């Protein structure tokens, strides 16, 4: 086989891996949207905030150090310890649950039964609040995550494919790991929502609030649960993206990539988020690969959106979204 | 003549049991049902003490008084009906009982205790299950999953056990699944257990909703117009299920219904509401001979 074809395959596989990450971010959106009808614009910022918090805790940074120092004239920045990764992750998860509670308690509890656009505006506010809060707590310089995640190309994959096809595939070890983690997370979430008591309650709330109340489900609890899960998913996404490109503001912009993924897959479907993510991931890499020589670069920036627009015209509910037809 | 409900009036007259129910027969003597002692009905069902008592309930929406100073009780094991013309406040009353509305005045007593201000899910956890006038099922979920949600109040494992499928989680799921299968058998909906509810016809949806409420093994079952929009056959089925539920499980039932024939056949005692006020309360016989009730349903001659 010609090298060109192998090269295309390699690009596609890399696209799949990027797609898994898109799917991961999109998943956070879908979870919250299904359960509460809120389109959570802040999902990307939550990922950024989670990653910043993780790094801050690991490095023993003093939260609000700048504020404390300028108020009291002190000069503290670090506690002087470092915390092992898994402990820091556990602490961060705890903090995300706390954040979920606070978001529910102080924002959305007061906005029950409001128009979707008002809920959406609230999440925009939340996004900027969290962005500022993150910078205030941990500073706004670019940080690196030292979780000991593998980096560089996987020699094993390159050698194996070399011996099979006579063409060595280049796959980043971090991408492979991220794919495995994301796939495991998605599987766990699906099993949880399909077969557990709380999963069933979650789907019930997503379907009909009034009926859910009547069978004894606390909406408040489910919403906190959903925001917590979304926070956890955001943390995973933040770690993976942060490990490859540093924890910085642009991390919150990956959320925008999730938008076309959702249009493609359907806002209310977990499988839709996954398949949508994969299609966009592979699609943009392959499109770039084939079209680059013809129209020049930078197609990756707009390809996903154009694809989503085409979908909006022909299948507005997305691939897996619920078509809104009601039996009368 | 003031005609409150011309359609209802015509229907009552043409249907064969119009004046049969609202005739001017003598008012019956006080019977056992007006005492507070437990007793056994003619058909051998045990009626116990007061299970739920509404005391001087007043509910307002802004300037509109939906319920005005109403008191009544529901006794263990009985079938209690709330009837009245459209807009009388029946559904509001059911919503007060199930915690969806909070009355401005009055008290709700359940099992001998005054109920605090409770959210609907807390009321459900106390053992009050309900159905809705406009069916509130989880349309995207299968019949089985819908009925399983009815068991949520009986499932006690916490989120960590559930997430990791640890300890009692699996055993609990199996036990509750068995209970649900019994209900499904009982209501004869085995054939559709895997069908998404959204695809079912109206009559079956009503039955699934009853199944979900029953799955909770409620101490008090509230039915908001369980037979609305059904044909005669479906009404007969539903009536039979309600009677069977009451008979076999001893479940206390409070229901709202428009079909007078059904109400009079099913219930042990009837509360009649009109314009948010209680205008009658008693056995079906007493109620159908009550002049205020006859006036509310058939209108009063102004002469």
In contact, B256 and B90? CB cutoff 8 Å: yes
Nearest CA in chain B to A189: B163
Residues near B23 by Cβ (< 8 Å), separated by ≥ 6?
Answer: B288, B289
| Domain edges within chain B | 1-127+219-242+252-303, 140-217
Give the per-residue pLDDT at B58. Answer: 94
Q: What is the pLDDT of residues A128-170, one digit of tens each?
A: 999 999 999 998 888 888 887 887 788 888 888 888 877 878 8
Nearest Cα of chain A lies from the Cα of B248 at a distance, in angstroms, of 22
pLDDT tops 70 at residue B250: yes
pLDDT > 70 fraction of chain B, expressed in percent and rounded: 85
Q: How confident is the model at residue A323 (pLDDT cuts 50, 70, 90)?
A: low
Three-state secondary structure readout of chain B: CCCCCHHHHHHHHHCCCHHHHHCCCCCCCCCHHHCCCCEECCCCCEECCEEEEEEEEEEEECCEEEEEEEEEEEECCCEEEEECCCCCCHHHHHHHHCCCCCCCEEEEEECCEECCCCCHHHHHHCCEEECCCCCCCCCCCEHHHHHHHCCHHHCCCCHHHHHHCCCHHHHHHHHHHHHHHHHHHHCCCHHHCCCEHHHCCHHHHHHHHHHHHHHCCCCEEEEECCCCCCCHHHHHHHHHHHHHHHHHHCCEEEEECCCHHHHHHHCCEEEEEECCEEEEEECHHHHHCCHHHHHHHHCCCCC
Q: Which whole number is the average pLDDT over A52-58?
A: 93
Question: Which one of A35, A211, A326 makes the best mutation probe of the B interface by having the most chain B beta carbons within 10 Å?
Answer: A211
Q: Across the interface, which of A207, A213, A219 has its CB nearest the CB of B138?
A: A207
Q: Which whole number is the average pLDDT over B271-282?
A: 91
Fold of the domain spanning B1-127+219-242+252-303: Rossmann fold (3.40.50)
User: Does A219 contact B121 at a Cβ distance shorter than 8 Å?
Assistant: yes
Q: What is the pLDDT of residues B55-93, one digit of tens each?
A: 999 999 988 999 999 999 999 999 999 998 888 899 999
The residue among B42 and A122 whose pLDDT is bigger is A122
Give me chain B's average pLDDT, please. Answer: 83
pLDDT > 90 fraction of chain B, expressed in percent and rounded: 49
Chain A residues near residue B155 by CB distance under 8 angstroms: 197
- A 82-141: CB under 8 A from B: none
pLDDT tops 50 at residue B30: no
Chain A residues near residue B129 by CB distance under 8 angstroms: 214-215
Give the per-residue pLDDT at A193. Answer: 82
pLDDT tops 80 at residue B169: no
Supply the pTM of this predicted model: 0.81
Give the per-residue pLDDT at B128. Answer: 94
Chain B interface includes A219 (CB < 8 A):
yes
Of the listed ranges A218-227, A266-275, B19-28, the least confidently predicted one is B19-28
Q: How confident is the model at residue B26 (pLDDT cuts 50, 70, 90)?
A: very low
Q: Across the interface, which of A212, A215, A225 has its CB nearest the CB of B216?
A: A215
Nearest Cα of chain A lies from the Cα of B129 at a distance, in angstroms, of 7
Nearest Cα of chain B lies from the Cα of A259 at a distance, in angstroms, of 24
- What interface predicted TM-score (ipTM) does this complex get? 0.79
User: Does B137 contact A212 at a Cβ distance shorter than 8 Å?
Assistant: no
Chain A interface includes B173 (CB < 8 A):
yes
Nearest Cα of chain A lies from the Cα of B140 at a distance, in angstroms, of 7
User: Does B152 contact A192 at a Cβ distance shorter than 8 Å?
Assistant: no
pLDDT tops 50 at residue B2: no
User: Does A210 contact B132 at a Cβ distance shorter than 8 Å?
Assistant: yes
User: Does A200 contact B148 at a Cβ distance shorter than 8 Å?
Assistant: yes
The residue among B133 and A298 whose pLDDT is bigger is B133
Q: Across the interface, which of B152, B199, B213 has its CB nearest the CB of A201?
A: B152
């Amino acid at each position: 086989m010609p090298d060109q074809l192998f090269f295309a395959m390699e690009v596609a596989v890399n696209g799949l891996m990027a797609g898994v990450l898109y799917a991961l971010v999109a998943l956070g959106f879908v979870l919250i949207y299904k359960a509460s009808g809120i389109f959570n614009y802040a999902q990307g910022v939550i990922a950024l905030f989670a990653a910043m918090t993780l790094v801050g805790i690991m490095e023993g940074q003093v939260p609000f150090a700048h504020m404390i120092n300028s108020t009291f004239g002190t000069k503290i920045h670090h506690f002087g310890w470092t915390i092992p990764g898994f402990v820091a992750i556990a602490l961060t998860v705890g903090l995300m649950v706390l954040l979920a509670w606070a978001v529910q308690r102080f924002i959305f509890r007061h906005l029950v039964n409001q128009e979707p656009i008002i809920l959406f505006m609230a999440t925009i506010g939340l996004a900027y609040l969290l962005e500022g809060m993150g910078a205030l707590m941990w500073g706004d310089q670019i940080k690196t995550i030292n979780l000991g995640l593998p980096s560089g190309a996987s020699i094993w994959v390159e050698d194996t494919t070399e011996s099979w096809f006579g063409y060595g595939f280049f796959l980043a070890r971090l991408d492979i790991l991220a794919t495995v983690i994301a796939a495991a997370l998605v599987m766990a979430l699906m099993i949880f929502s399909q077969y557990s008591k709380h999963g069933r309650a979650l789907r019930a709330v997503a379907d009909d609030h009034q009926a859910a109340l009547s069978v004894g489900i606390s909406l408040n609890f489910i919403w906190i649960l959903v925001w917590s899960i979304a926070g956890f998913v955001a943390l995973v996404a933040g770690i993976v993206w942060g490990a490859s490109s540093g924890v910085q503001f642009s991390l919150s912009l990956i959320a925008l990539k999730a938008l076309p993924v959702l249009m493609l897959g359907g806002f209310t479907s977990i499988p839709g988020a996954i398949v949508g993510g994969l299609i966009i991931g592979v699609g943009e890499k392959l499109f770039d690969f084939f079209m680059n020589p013809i129209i020049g670069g930078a197609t990756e920036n707009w390809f996903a959106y154009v694809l989503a627009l085409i979908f909006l015209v022909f299948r507005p509910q997305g691939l897996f979204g619920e078509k809104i037809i009601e039996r009368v | 003549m003031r005609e409150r409900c011309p359609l209802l009036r015509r229907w009552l007259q043409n249907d064969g049991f119009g004046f049969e129910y609202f005739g001017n027969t003598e008012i019956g003597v006080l019977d056992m049902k007006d005492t507070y002692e437990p007793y056994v009905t003619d058909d051998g069902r045990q009626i116990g003490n007061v299970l739920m008592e509404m005391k001087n309930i007043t509910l307002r929406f802004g300037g509109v008084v939906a319920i005005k100073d109403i008191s009544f009780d529901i006794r263990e094991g009985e079938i209690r009906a709330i009837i009245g013309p459209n807009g009388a406040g029946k559904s509001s009353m059911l919503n007060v009982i199930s915690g969806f509305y909070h009355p401005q005045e009055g008290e709700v007593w359940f099992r001998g205790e005054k109920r605090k201000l409770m959210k609907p899910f807390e009321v459900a956890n106390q053992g009050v299950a309900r159905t809705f006038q406009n069916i509130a099922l989880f349309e995207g979920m299968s019949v089985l999953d819908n009925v399983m949600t009815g068991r949520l109040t009986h499932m006690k494992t916490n989120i960590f056990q559930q997430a990791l499928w640890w300890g009692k989680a699996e055993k609990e799921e199996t036990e509750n699944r068995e209970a649900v299968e019994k209900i499904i058998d009982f209501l004869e909906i085995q054939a559709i257990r895997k069908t998404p509810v959204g695809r079912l016809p109206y009559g079956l949806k009503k039955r699934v909703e009853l199944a979900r409420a029953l799955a909770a093994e409620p101490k008090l079952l509230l039915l908001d117009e369980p037979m609305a929009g059904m044909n005669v056959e479906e009404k007969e089925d539903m009536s039979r299920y309600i009677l069977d539920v009451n008979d076999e499980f001893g479940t206390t039932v409070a229901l709202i219904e428009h079909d007078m024939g059904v109400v009079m056949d099913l219930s042990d005692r009837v509360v009649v509401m009109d314009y948010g006020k209680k205008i009658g309360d008693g056995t079906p016989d007493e109620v159908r001979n009550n002049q205020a009730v006859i006036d509310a349903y058939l209108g009063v001659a102004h002469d």
